[in-house]
Amino acid sequence: MAHRTYEMIWAVVRRIPRGRVATYALVADLAGLRGARQVGYALHALPDDHRVPWHRVINARGEISPRAGSDHDELQRVLLEHEGVEFDERGRIALERFLWKPRKGRPRC
């Protein structure tokens, strides 16, 4: 069953603003985890009333992770496009433009 780890991850994912995406590694880092795999686990275990923008979480390649035995991967792309996130011809997202940058203290103003 779900435990504290999941809620930490979900809390981070909820922070991702609209029109932005975050990688699994980034979410894991913000959630205080050491491995990015657990992030995928947590999202897979989302409850029905999750209220979590899971579609804004992508892999480090800037692509949607092809999950096994589900059609939700295409849904993720639709949801992101609906928020303004653009994909190139290979189905890849330009992380330089759409990656969420949590108050990391931007260099200069």
Q: Which residues contact DNA (rule: CB under 7 A)? A: 1-3, 5-6, 23-25, 33-41, 43-46, 54-55, 57, 59-61, 65-68, 72, 76
Whichever of 15 and 45 has its CB closer to DNA, that residue is: 45
Would you call 27 exposed, middle or buried from its count of C-beta atoms within 10 A (0-12, 13-18, 19+)?
buried
Whichever of 16 and 57 has its CB closer to DNA, that residue is: 57
Q: How far is the CB of 34 from DNA (least distance, A)?
A: 3
Q: How far is the CB of 101 from DNA (least distance, A)?
A: 15
Q: Phi/psi at 23 (nearest 5 deg)?
A: -85, 160
Cα–Cα distance measured from residue 6 to residue 25, given in angstroms and rounded to the nearest whole number: 15
Q: How far is the CB of 57 from DNA (least distance, A)?
A: 6
96: left (phi over 0), alpha (psi -120 to 50) or beta: alpha
Paired with 23 in beta bridges are 58
Whichever of 5 and 102 has its CB closer to DNA, that residue is: 5
